[in-house]
Structure 1
């Protein structure tokens, strides 16, 4: 039985959650995980964070483990900075599930955990977010067990509060704690 390697990474803003691309045009214009660290052959991201999202990303050489984490309903926690002062009414809607578009079809998100949080102390992002001169913002924690394409962003937009910054802080028991952007840590066990 092969010994698999596992990593956790603080994916910074502006990087794609893959090692490289076969598309030469994309390879010239985009930043990939392999630009951050010399990962061993066969390493794959477990799930994804879109280019504009940042935070915790797990990586492994174990395809079965990757599939299990993606399909088993492991909790993923995100901190989302949203445009405006979100109210309890919208928090309740998010908790109960909202309708979003997935692959051109309407999809009702599963119930999840959501609450307002104080402004977290994340490192500055490479691309600045608008400041308070443009109106107030709120931070919320969203814990989901599914992971549709751009789900959290679509959920906050569905209740009228578009996401300005999205940071994944936890997958199962693995957290972002003590990691700096672009930092990679080798771990013995992921879940």
Structure 2
């Protein structure tokens, strides 16, 4: 990932295949009937669908390819990697919990989680709709994360008297707003949430609104 107008070549990861790349307002050549995969960096405050009410930001504002649909979801107030495809079987494999596709998030939380809080996140947190499964969790170096991500508009609401912490959280299920509810349950509300990978597919250095197209075969 990189910041806008940055010349840095540092990448979070490298995607598996060479691919086309597009930006908001610029149309790529239309794919043929072959199955394709679109990797989008979904911006903050954008609905995870192609239609909405007047004034809503939707996927149609960014993805200029017809007949692709999200494989899974990402909340309006969350950012980062969203996969879209025109292959129904692949869409099911990515989105259905039974396939246990790992999803990696960088999460900025309020406060500094102690060992007990991290342990609870790893072991599973009891939510209203059941206990979450075991997760991989680690604290990240904030300066390193913030040097590799973009500024959010609007910025998070941060209280000067309370520090924030970035954590990496990897889950293999998809309860509604799960990550936010997990961190809140251990006393550290989520302030910002960025999904950086789904299985082997990485956000890499896509900026908000940018996408890549890869063949499926």
Q: Is TM (by shorter chain) over 0.5? A: yes
Residues 66-81 of structure 1: matches in 2 within 5 Å?
Answer: 66-71=91-96, 72-81=99-108
CA RMSD of aligned residues (A): 1.4
| C-alpha separation in 2, matches of 1:133 and 1:111 | 33
Identify the residue that residue 58 of structure 2 maps to in structure 1: 32
Which residue is equivalent to 1:17?
A: 48
**Deviation >3 Å, runs of 4+:** none
The structure whose RCO (Cα within 8 Å, separation 6+) is larger is 2
CA displacement at 1:4 relative to structure 2: 1.4
- Shift in Å, 1:36: 1.2
Other-structure match for 1:48: 73
Q: What is the TM-score of this pair, normalised by structure 2?
A: 0.79
Task: Give unmatched runs, 5+ long, in structure 1.
Answer: 22-26
Of residues 162-171 and 69-78 in structure 1, the stretch that sits farther from structure 2 once superposed is: 69-78
Unaligned runs of 5+ in 2: 1-32
Q: Report what 2:13 is aligned to.
A: none
Residues 35 and 215, structure 2, Cα contact 8 Å, conserved in 1: no
Matched, 1:148 2:171: no
> What residue is the counterpart of 1:111 in the other structure?
134
Report deviation, 1:134: 4.2
Q: 1:99 to 1:178 in 2, by over 3 A?
A: same
| Residue correspondences, number | 179
TM-score (norm 1): 0.89
Cα displacement (A) at 1:138: 0.6
Higher strand share: 1
> For 1:156, what is the secondary structure of its paired residue?
helix
Q: 1:169 aligns with which of 196, 208, 215?
A: 196
Shift of the 134–14 alpha-carbon distance from structure 1 to 2, 3 Å rule, reads: farther
